[in-house]
Copies of this chain bind each other. A is one copy, B any other.
Amino acid sequence: MSATPGSFITRHHHITIATGGAQQDYDFHTKVLGLKSVKKTAFYDGEAPIYHLYYGNDAGEESSLVTTFPVAHTGVKGRKGSGQISYVSLSIPPAALDFWRERLTTHGFKVTDTERFGERYLDFQHPCGVDYSLVAVADDARKPHSKGPVPAELMIRGTHSICVSTRDAEPMEEFMQLGWGGTRVAEDRNLLRYQLGKGGSGTIIDFEVEPSRKAGTWIVGEGTVHHMAFQVGSHAEQDQLKLHLEAMGYTDVSDVKNRGYFDSIYVRTPSGAMFEATVTHDDGFTCDEPRDKLGLEVMLAPQLKMSREEMLAQLGYLKD
């Protein structure tokens, strides 16, 4: 098997998490974490309306994005476990650690100081129970949300790393190296660190090897991460990646799905986590609303056979 050129997959694009109530999720990301609402739309799969909420920096750039499916109204609960992305770490400036510890504590969150790979983390949980972390990263040049409740110099820069809980490292390491173009760069206790493209914050995937941990769910279930999306440079590279993975035996690579703002393929990895490889549309998030109004109004998902009013009546209006 030949390896995928590492340059195909350059960095994180967004993470997608199944959370609880939509208003609670919105308030947590915009008021506590201070991220910008970049897009309010709905889950593109299935006929039941579910919000898809995008949070990020001013323009909603790749690797600044945390996205959620609030599913409390569906009643579908997830179970955390192995074979799943266990937490997402968001990058903050080292000088902002004390600010964030106090801010989160003041908002009623339990914060734990930890260290991994020589980096300092503040671990806490989304109100629905999903694990988040803020990590002190020097030299992260990504632009933060500049008009939110948190001063720009202290603000989150974007996703730093994800951590995948896996019972077995071996098949995943093979997939990372031969299939996903990753490079193994560090090891810390039962953690393995991979990076993509040029490396650094926003390109990192950690694997926590937990041989005895029971498997979590793969459904869109409340309280679990659903998948991680990575940026690919072009549709031609995405097509080549799909053919490459299929030739290796990963026949379940999805068709290219138009997600409105980007085009995506999905594959289940041997760690159990689902990865997405996506190409941003030229007009990205500004295709359906102007740059200065991003994330204010709800945009319909194309498969929903209902009006915006019916959708909002079912999902509830989100208050800023």
Contacts and interface: CB of A to CB of B under 8 A. Distances in A.
Interface of A: 1, 18, 45-48, 74, 76, 79, 81, 83, 167-168, 170-171, 174-175, 211-212, 214-221, 226-227, 243, 246-255, 257, 266-268, 270, 274, 276
Given A45-B246, A47-B247, A267 B252 contact: yes
A247 B170 CA distance: 31
Contacts of A174: 217, 219
Contacts of A276: 251
A81 B174 CA distance: 15
Contact of A1 (B45, B76, B267): B76
Contacts of A211: 212
Contacts of A226: 249
A249 B219 contact: yes
A1 B219 contact: yes
A76 B247 CA distance: 12
Closest 7 CB pairs of A and B: A46-B247, A255-B255, A268-B268, A168-B215, A220-B249, A45-B246, A219-B249
A243 B46 contact: yes
A214 B227 CA distance: 24
Given A215-B170, A254-B255, A255-B254, A248 B220 contact: yes
Contacts of A246: 45-46
Nearest to A227: B251
A252 B249 contact: no
Contact of A254 (B212, B221, B247, B253): B253
A218 B250 contact: yes
Contacts of A170: 79, 214-215
Contacts of A215: 167-168, 170-171, 270
Contact of A48 (B167, B218, B247): B247
A252 B274 contact: yes
Contacts of A250: 218-219
Contacts of A214: 168, 170
Contacts of A171: 83, 215-218
28 contacts: A1-B74, A1-B76, A45-B243, A45-B246, A45-B247, A46-B247, A81-B168, A168-B214, A170-B214, A171-B217, A171-B218, A174-B217, A217-B270, A218-B249, A218-B270, A219-B248, A219-B249, A219-B250, A220-B248, A227-B251, A252-B253, A252-B254, A252-B266, A252-B267, A252-B274, A253-B254, A255-B255, A268-B268
Contacts of A267: 252
A90 B247 CA distance: 28
Given A45-B251, A171-B215, A252-B274, 13 more contacts: A1-B76, A18-B249, A46-B248, A81-B168, A83-B168, A167-B167, A170-B215, A171-B216, A174-B219, A219-B249, A220-B249, A227-B251, A268-B268
